[in-house]
Structure 1
Amino acid sequence: MDAQTPLTNPDITTIKRVLIGIFIVIVAQVLFVAQDVVMPMVLGLLIALTLRPIVRFAEKRGIPAGISAFLIILVLAGGLGFGAYSLSGPVSNLIASAPETGIQIREKFAEYRDEIKAVKDASDQVQTLAQGTDTAEVQKVVVQQPALLSAAASKTFVGLTTFVVALILAMFLLSTGTLFYEKIVGILPLMSEKKRALRVIYDVERQVSRYLFTISLINAALGAAIGLCLWLYGMPNPFMWGCIAAVLNFLPFIGAWVGALAIAATALVVYPTLGSALIAPAIYLGLTTLEGNFLTPMIVGRRLELNIVAVFLTVTVWGWLWGLLGALMAVPILVVVKVLCDNFESMHDLGQFLSGRPVVEEDEEDPVEASAS
């Protein structure tokens, strides 16, 4: 191409896509390397958005935002601290008894031991024939791994630090009220742009805060229901399992199955028969299925319904970047992105992809929503 040849539209489009790809890679790298700094900020923002309806309700009753924010964060921190202290004993016992639990589970399946042994012997014979008879004796070297409790203690300290920083940031965001929004709007030069930006900011805050607050209440209610049902069934530590269920329910797809498998492993040790042991995980899966397919869609509605593929990919990416905490924050982050896409025309195509509704259905409903508003 000659130096004087002007760029065509396809060339400009290609350059834009390449630059966007490079930008995404750089952002992902920064998020991974600086996760100890960025993760508390994102978590604090999500906590602030979740608690914003409570602060707004208190402001309407004459309570200043600073006082209500301080009291709310204090109560939340106290509740989390009390819950962590109450769960520390049962969780430590559960981790410490994991080897013994594995032995008892193997004893439960002793009646299938002969069939399993026959399959294993046949597999060993095939492997021996494939390797030949002149195999040299290999010395096994065992590398000592760090203690499980030490690793858990280290991760607990990092998680505690993250939550403390996030709570402090959330308190500052909640106590300032609309000052942060006014600072952002003040950067824009034109009054029309200021009004539009302020309208978008309030719309995003209202939708996201309402969604996160509602989902948090639903998950808390689900945890209480699971804990109550397991307590009625005689499952040990029902409070612990209820808290675990409430937290894992922020993790779609995987959370319900992880919780059910953990309860199944414990129930196999507690109950004498296989049938009675499977009732506890069945209760867990039944309540999570009822919540996910009926309760949450009925309460939250379909406006923020997300594409199941986008949810799975988002959980995978954030879990890879930030671990378990990133996977738990993946869906709330995706909701924030979805609401932003709905409010900016340039991001409308991405919002269509993230939406769980067909494009035709949205095209049919948009005029109705516009006329109703």
Structure 2
Amino acid sequence: MKHNYSAALIRTMAVISLFIGLYFTQSLMLPIFIAGFVSLLCAPIVTRLSKIGIPRLINVVVLLMTLLAALSLSAGFLAEPAQQWWSKLPSVMKEMSQQFNHTSAANAGGDDSFMEVIEKANVGEIKANTALSVAKEVVKATPTIVTQLFIALFMAFFMLSYGRTLLRQFLRQLPSFADKRVAIEVVREIQTSLFRYLSTITAVNIGLGVAVGTVLAMLGMEDAFLWGAFAAMMNFAPYLGPMISVACLGLVGFLQFDSLQYALIIMAAYLALNIVESQFVTPTLLGDKFNLNPLVIFVWLVLWGWMWGAMGVLIAVPLLVCVDIFLARTWLFGAWYQVLHNESSCSNTQQTLSPDKSAAEKIC
């Protein structure tokens, strides 16, 4: 019993040390994580194309270039309306100050209130100062972002091209057939589940974005599909993303129509679509296997958001799926991995993922 507690303590300290290391190595590890997700997502496609006679190297290059082109086209499609909204920011600030001044006029004292100071401020000066500060941040961040993007792209290329060779060399070093079997099962399960999860969530979020954009266009909102794309992107972060989306849509609707009632209608329409997606569509498509505990997901999102910011929030849930599969297959912390799941899905998860315990203990 004492040995078990010592082993659990050592593993817990190792996990804490791992998170501390990830916190301080964000700029290095983020492109590696992104490249890993891209390679795991694209590997089944590359394998299938290789089986029909197309060289693997050509498959990898074409697939990565297609992915990069799709991201570039999406960014170009949304850049113009986003820039237009950014140019409206100074007038939006002044309009907000006027609205707040109107509602708080009864409580105004002899001195100028904070909102009155904002209202009296020069709009051009606000725009210049805001644009200057943002430009400085963009100039500072652009080299890092571009560098990380190219590192992730090239690393994904090498992972897809030579990852199988590296895996074979790793398997040859394992001492027994049982260890090799567990290692292959871990890699295969993570690859299959991650591909299914990301492809399903991406398709669902695209559908949600189109639905949100269509409803907003019917309600007469400007740049409706820009906000639909924004809602789709935010939906990759469960719970946190929809809260941000509903707040932003309500604010934009209030500023555009100058009506609290209309803003509430827009928020209600988005919430209705999000409830249908989160409570019916996504659970039906993913099933109980991905039925993770909402509290665990929320804490995990907050943790990775604190560590790595917005990108940490976006990759948090796919990473949690990988961690769940790894713990279930390797039995690293015994049956404790079941705390990640809802109670209704724990029995199904244990039946489908519990490995040969002796083999798992050897590989751990």
Scaled by the length of structure 1, what TM-score is found?
0.80
- Which gives a bigger RCO, structure 1 or 2 (Cα 8 Å, sep 6+)? 1
Name the structure 1 match of 2:244: 258
Correspondence list, 1:45-194, <5 A? 45-108=36-99, 112-114=103-105, 117=107, 147-176=133-162, 178-194=164-180
Name the structure 1 match of 2:342: 356
Residue range with higher mean Cα deviation, 334-343 or 282-291:
282-291
What's the Cα RMSD here?
A: 2.9
| SS of residue matched to 1:250 | coil
Correspondence list, 1:338-357, <5 A? 338-357=324-343
Name the structure 1 match of 2:288: 302
CA deviation string 1:95-144 (max 9, x = no partner): 343342133234446663346x27x99xx9xxxxxxxxxxxxxxxxxxx9
2:232 to 235, 246, 254: 246
1:159/1:245 CA distance change after superposition, 3 Å:
farther
| SS of residue matched to 2:188 | helix
Name the structure 1 match of 2:319: 333
The structure with the largest alpha-carbon Rg is 1
Deviation at 1:195, TM superposition (A): 2.9
Residue range with higher mean Cα deviation, 277-286 or 251-260:
277-286
Q: Are residues 1:317 and 2:303 paired? A: yes
1:230/1:66 CA distance change after superposition, 3 Å:
farther
Name the structure 2 match of 1:206: 192
Residue type of the alignment partner of 1:211: Y
CA deviation string 1:163-182 (max 9, x = no partner): 33222222322234633332
Correspondence list, 1:206-245, <5 A? 206-245=192-231
Aligned residues: 336
Q: Which runs of 5+ in 1 are unaligned?
A: 1-8, 125-143
Q: Which has the higher helix share?
A: 2
Deviation at 1:365, TM superposition (A): 7.6
Deviation at 1:228, TM superposition (A): 2.6
1:261/1:78 CA distance change after superposition, 3 Å:
same
Q: 2: CA distance between counterparts of 1:309 and 1:301?
A: 18
Misfit runs of 4+, over 4 Å: 108-111, 364-370
Q: Is the 8 A contact 2:186 2:325 kept in 1?
A: no
Name the structure 2 match of 1:131: none
Deviation at 1:292, TM superposition (A): 0.9
1:205/1:297 CA distance change after superposition, 3 Å:
same
Name the structure 1 match of 2:257: 271
Q: Which runs of 5+ in 2 are unaligned?
A: 114-128, 355-364
Scaled by the length of structure 2, what TM-score is found?
0.81
Q: Is the 8 A contact 1:226 1:287 kept in 2?
A: yes
CA deviation string 1:165-203 (max 9, x = no partner): 222222322234633332321221223322332233212
